[in-house]
Amino acid sequence: MSMSEGALAKISAEEQRPALPRRSSAGVLAGGGSAGGGRPLARRLIKALLLLAGLVIVSGLAGFLAFTTQIAAREPSSLKTADAIVVLTGGASRISDAVGLLSEGRGRRLLITGVNPQTTPAELRRTLPDGDRLIACCVDLGHRALNTRGNALEAAEWTRSQRFRSLVVVTSAWHMPRAILELGRALPDVELVSYPVVTTRMQAEQWWRDPSTLKLLFKEYLKYVMAKVKIRPAQAVIAPEHEAATAAAPASGAEQAAP
């Protein structure tokens, strides 16, 4: 076979061979991206979620620390006199301190809000110093409030009915920020004077080392945040028809559930 005939046979064989698919450089890049492109995206998403979670945690801790700065470590040595006094039930020494302020003339009248509907003035009279005289002349009992917002609504109704323009607010030190927040919304035109009742657990210089105190304050902080943004899942006051029914039941305590 001559050289020309061999060349022609080679060309003929190549024409009969099936052509291989051609891949451009762009196709190679696209193919590589489809195989591993999901992994960088997933990593970026995880990093973004971790960053967001970190920001939420840092913001929450910062807010909690700011909240604790609002809690008084000592009861006030001097107090401005107001038209009346409101005490929110649910903590030790609140009522006795409020009655003491009434006896000192820090207000003309006292509302105890959040009293158990089954508690009568006669029962409360036995628990208060000089209770007979004070209950008869100057103390009103509020039975409808179920929580702090209910306390504020009940106090607002009582304040407007008595036409008071200023109130001394008595509650536990850790509860005072939320109480003032709710009362301020319910009574925007009334001056509020805080009298925080400070217990021994809040007087400790290193209270954050006590797990029970830390838990109490963190729960209260969460409730404060919910009140701040107006998240109110619980009923605030007892309905009138339910109040009439519970008033006829046997007495079981002087206070409602703690706010």
Question: What separation, in Å, do the N-terminal and C-terminal C-alpha atoms of the chain show?
Answer: 109
Residue 137 lies in a domain: yes
Residue 3 lies in a domain: no
Residue 150 lies in a domain: yes
**Rounded distance, CA 173 to CA 7, Å?**
103
Count the alpha carbons within 13 Å of 40 in the hemisphere toward its beta carbon. Answer: 6
**Rounded distance, CA 138 to CA 134, Å?**
5
CATH code of the domain in which 162 resides: 3.40.50
User: Could you count the other beta carbons within 10 Å of the beta carbon of residue 241?
Assistant: 7
Residue 255 lies in a domain: no
Q: Which long-range contacts (CB under 8 A, 24 or more apart) does 175-179 make?
A: 175/88, 175/90, 175/91, 175/148, 175/220, 175/259, 176/70, 176/71, 176/72, 177/67, 177/70, 177/71, 177/224, 178/148, 178/220, 178/223, 178/224, 178/227, 179/88, 179/148, 179/151, 179/152, 179/259
pTM above 0.85, yes or no: no
pLDDT tens digits, one per residue of 55-66? 888 888 888 888
Please give the pLDDT value at position 218.
92
Please give the pLDDT value at position 37.
60
Please give the pLDDT value at position 203.
64
Residue 117 lies in a domain: yes
Please give the pLDDT value at position 135.
79
Please give the pLDDT value at position 179.
97
Low-confidence ranges of the chain (pLDDT < 50): 8, 24-33, 35, 247-248, 250-253, 257
Residue 11 lies in a domain: no
What is the residue range of 112's domain? Answer: 84-247
Which two structure tokens, joined as six digits, stand for 168? 């001394």
**Rounded distance, CA 229 to CA 244, Å?**
33
Residue 122 lies in a domain: yes
Strand partners of residue 255: 115
Residue 166 lies in a domain: yes
pLDDT tens digits, one per residue of 18-50? 555 555 444 444 444 454 566 888 888 888 888
Q: How many domains does the chain have?
A: 1
